[in-house]
Chain A
Amino acid sequence: MKRSHRKNRNPVNAASLARWIVVTAFLALAGLSYVYLTLQLYHLGERKKSVENELSSLRTQNDVASVQIAALTSRSALQRRLKEGYLKMIPISERDIVRLTVPARQADENVIQPVVNEPATR
């Protein structure tokens, strides 16, 4: 009995089994990683889309604000405010203007003149 049992036993090749386990685990891990990364890709895509929308919305708000600034600071708006009395402007009379005349150039201004360092005297 003992002899026959030993004769029919299938010996397990541990090295081969280990190799198969490693290969299977690697494939499983690779598959899971692939699924995970694919999901990440979709998730990041959604995030990208949402950031794009946010950026577009901010740009729109910025545009609307600059339009409002331009409208409020436009000449027509300022004139309207002037007419309504929110602003007051007093014309500057000719007497209150001081003009600084550019000094006249000397005739010999452009002549090249030598520069001499005077020797120090004791």
Chain B
Amino acid sequence: MNPHSRRRCALVCCVFIALFSAFSFRLIYLQVIKHDEYAGLAAEKHVYKQTIYAERGTILDANNEVLAHNVPVETVVGDATHLNNREAIVDLVGSELGIPTRQLAEKLNSERRYIVIKREVPESLATALRAKLLARNLRGIYFENDATRIYPNGSMLCHVIGFTDFEHRGIQGVEASMEEYLHGQDGYRYVEHNRVGQEIVPYRGQERAPRNGYQVHLTVDLNLQNIVENEIDAAMDEYRPKKATIILMRPQTGEILAMANRPKFDLNLRSEAKPEEMKNRAIIDMMEPGSTFKIVAAAAALNEHKLRPDSTIFCENGLWNFGGSALHDHRAFSYLSVRDILIKSSNIGAAKLALSVGEQKFYEYIRRFGFGERTGIELPGEINGVIRPPRSWSKISITRIPMGHEIGVTPLQMTVAMAAIANGGKLVMPRIVKSITSADGKAISSLSPVVLRQVTSPETARQIGDALRGVVSDRGTAAAAAVPGFTIAGKTGTAQKVNPNGGYEQGKYVVSFSGYLPAERPEFVGLVVLDDAQTSKPELNYGGLIAGPIFSRIAEKAARYLDLEPHEEIRKAIPIERVALTNASRH
């Protein structure tokens, strides 16, 4: 090769070397130096984080009966830029989903890429629509998986269970208070799409499985709840009160066995419910309790050893002027024992009981019974009630508060106070949540009874209990609350309704009865409250005559359901051969 050719050859080689070096440097620049930047841009375009939604937990009753759970539904959405045959799509989707064609056409007549056509479409309907769209090769309509909350029992226990919003967050009842446990934790997955939007499965990135919400088991027994719901409905029909509340509670543990309020609403049709219907009046309504509150005055006087159950008090023959104001009894009583003050429900007697311990001590007992503070039940929106301190009392307050005036308490507070008497003076925190478990039944949390304090000595509680047994007798104000075969202790209450503009409303009463059964070994405490019950005659508008019989019917059915053994009086009615069998079984 001559030198000229050799130079040319070298030149060509240099050009090629320069060219490939440039390519190499460019490649290194793109693939190494700019790697992160371009990888990020590519990921932004093709990779996205797909949320895997956690399933909301189920709510169950004490016997594992389902109260709230989820049903899969789909949300139908449209991408206006993908619609290939707008008219046909509008006709098909409109007719299938029951949306007026014109309305749907207006919705889709845009360039928006995400148009929600209908939410909560049942799975079967969505599947059918999907198949029809595919068969006719119509594009631009997509389906997103979703779930909606279903309450199989409709309005039963509606105020306790509560409900969720569109984002599946609890906004009332246990759904709200147990949100942390019910909600679960969403998972995610990084996925990469190809040009036509299909996932490239081998390129799946990091993934985290969702954790479904826990199951919440309530203390409520649906069988007892059913008894209560039937009776409250019957009471609504018979007396047409404005509001009503019934609570059943186990005094030893504080477990709420049943809780019903009226007015009510259907949990599955919650969008149609009025605000008034959604209130859980057992914890957010304040009432003047009336004579049921006399147990506090009596307990204070007995526990402080100011008086004994058989100590007599002069009840001023039905009219007592104190602090420049007259205090009446419904009947003229002369001398009554402390026991009889409760049995006969003497206002003057109760006032004198409170006076015997003094303002400050009486106030302390009111607070010790749990009035004026939240009970701590696992339900949202509970109120404190209103108990003013003695420095804000008028001269006559000490005589009015013992008969349940000048204070505001919730029905639940009243039930808890009665439960303290039934429970030997121990005040127990009411509970509505029994336990929390995972979906496979593993225990996450189990709530045990919480004894808040010893309000009175067991002896005082027994003495009050004895007096309350007399209330449900021929001598007392609540003979109609008796249940054949069982001893019942209880107290009636008839409080004139407070006028929001001041004073009291004439002829309007809040009637109540609070009691427990069996009196000697209480299995449950119950409270019945009817606000502004309508009676044929005004003299029939008393707690003992209205709320007492309702309690009696509930207690009788509940005792049978709980298989409580009646006493001897009932056994007398049992045929001889049955008694023989019962006795024989002892040996």
Give A41-81 interface residues, CB cut-off 8 Å to B: 41-42, 44-46, 48-49, 56, 60-61, 63-64, 66-67, 70-71, 74-77, 79
- What are 12 residue pairs bridging A and B, where the CB atoms are less than 8 Å apart in the complex? A61-B123, A63-B70, A63-B72, A64-B123, A66-B69, A70-B150, A74-B65, A74-B153, A76-B156, A94-B566, A99-B582, A101-B582
Give B88-145 interface residues, CB cut-off 8 Å to A: 123-124, 145
| In the assembled complex, A18 has its CB within 8 A of some CB on chain B | no
Closest chain A residue, CB of each to CB of B574: A95
Give B542-587 interface residues, CB cut-off 8 Å to A: 563, 565-566, 570, 573-575, 578, 581-582, 585-587
| In the assembled complex, A100 has its CB within 8 A of some CB on chain B | yes
Which chain A residues border B15 with CB–CB below 8 Å? none
| In the assembled complex, A17 has its CB within 8 A of some CB on chain B | no
- Bound Cα distance from A56 to B210, whole angstroms: 14
A99 touches B72 (CB 8 A): no
B200 touches A74 (CB 8 A): no
A100 touches B582 (CB 8 A): yes
Given A67-B150, A103-B586: 7 more A-B contacts, CB < 8 Å: A49-B199, A63-B70, A64-B124, A67-B70, A67-B71, A75-B65, A99-B582
| In the assembled complex, A98 has its CB within 8 A of some CB on chain B | yes
- Bound Cα distance from A71 to B151, whole angstroms: 8
B202 touches A45 (CB 8 A): yes
| In the assembled complex, A104 has its CB within 8 A of some CB on chain B | yes
A98 touches B586 (CB 8 A): no
Residues of B within 8 A of A (CB): 65-66, 69-72, 123-124, 145, 150, 152-154, 156, 199-202, 222, 226, 485, 563, 565-566, 570, 573-575, 578, 581-582, 585-587
Minimum CB–CB distance for A90 against chain B, Å: 14
Minimum CB–CB distance for B456 against chain A, Å: 32
Residues of A within 8 A of B (CB): 41-42, 44-46, 48-49, 56, 60-61, 63-64, 66-67, 70-71, 74-77, 79, 94-95, 98-101, 103-104
B226 touches A75 (CB 8 A): yes
A94 touches B573 (CB 8 A): yes
A94 touches B570 (CB 8 A): yes
Closest chain B residue, CB of each to CB of A72: B152
Which chain A residues border B145 with CB–CB below 8 Å? 56, 60
A101 touches B66 (CB 8 A): no
A60 touches B150 (CB 8 A): no
Query: 9 closest Cβ contacts across the A-B interface?
Result: A45-B201, A74-B152, A67-B71, A60-B72, A70-B66, A100-B585, A70-B152, A45-B202, A76-B153
Closest chain A residue, CB of each to CB of B204: A45
- Bound Cα distance from A46 to B200, whole angstroms: 8
Minimum CB–CB distance for B558 against chain A, Å: 14
- Bound Cα distance from A29 to B150, whole angstroms: 59
Which chain A residues border B69 with CB–CB below 8 Å? 66-67, 70
Cross-interface CB contact of A71 among B152, B565, B566, cutoff 8 Å: B152
Closest chain A residue, CB of each to CB of B148: A67
Q: Taking each of A70, A71, A101, which has the highest tally of chain B beta carbons within 10 Å of its own beta carbon?
A: A70
Q: Taking each of A66, A67, A100, which has the highest tally of chain B beta carbons within 10 Å of its own beta carbon?
A: A67
- Bound Cα distance from A67 to B513, whole angstroms: 39
Cross-interface CB contact of B201 among A49, A56, A95, cutoff 8 Å: A49
Which chain B residues border A74 with CB–CB below 8 Å? 65-66, 152-153
- Bound Cα distance from A42 to B199, whole angstroms: 11
- Bound Cα distance from A7 to B574, whole angstroms: 133
Minimum CB–CB distance for B411 against chain A, Å: 24
- Bound Cα distance from A105 to B268, whole angstroms: 53
Which chain B residues border A75 with CB–CB below 8 Å? 65, 153, 156, 222, 226
B202 touches A42 (CB 8 A): yes
Minimum CB–CB distance for A75 against chain B, Å: 6
Minimum CB–CB distance for A103 against chain B, Å: 5
A48 touches B578 (CB 8 A): no
A95 touches B578 (CB 8 A): yes
